[in-house]
């Protein structure tokens, strides 16, 4: 992956994070039943964590190193696992 491709990928992920959080902002969390409130909180936490990681230069460097060591691009799930996250639902 070239530097330009990585920058485009990061911009796309940031856009997806912003879109997901904007959608979550349309929900009145307090009006949800407890089980859905827990799912809502978990989803928001995962999206916020992903957003924090794509703005973290150390995380990006770790991703690049993992790709170089693997000799291939990581899958989305592998990238999230590298950061200690689970895929957003």
Q: Where are the domains of the chain?
A: 3-82
Indicate whether 4 pLDDT > 70.
no
What confidence category does residue 23 fall into, taking pLDDT thresholds of 50, 70 and 90? very high
Q: Specify the higher pLDDT residue, 87 or 30.
A: 30
Average pLDDT rounded to a whole number, residues 4-31 = 87
Contact yes or no for 27/46 (Cβ under 8 A): no
Contact yes or no for 60/54 (Cβ under 8 A): yes
The pTM for the full model equals 0.65
What confidence category does residue 45 fall into, taking pLDDT thresholds of 50, 70 and 90? very high
User: What is the C-alpha separation between 42 and 9, in angstroms, rounded?
Assistant: 24
Question: Which pLDDT score is estimated for 1?
Answer: 53
Contact yes or no for 27/40 (Cβ under 8 A): yes
- Max distance between CA atoms of the chain, in angstroms, equals 48
């Amino acid at each position: 992956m070239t530097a330009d491709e990585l920058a485009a990928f990061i911009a796309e992920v940031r856009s997806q994070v912003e879109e997901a959080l904007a959608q979550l902002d349309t929900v009145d969390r307090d009006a949800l039943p407890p089980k859905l409130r827990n799912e809502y909180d978990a989803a928001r936490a995962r999206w916020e964590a992903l957003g924090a990681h794509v703005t973290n230069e150390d995380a990006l460097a770790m991703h690049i190193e993992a790709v170089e060591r693997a000799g291939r691009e990581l899958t989305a799930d592998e990238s999230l696992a590298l950061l200690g996250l689970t895929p957003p639902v």
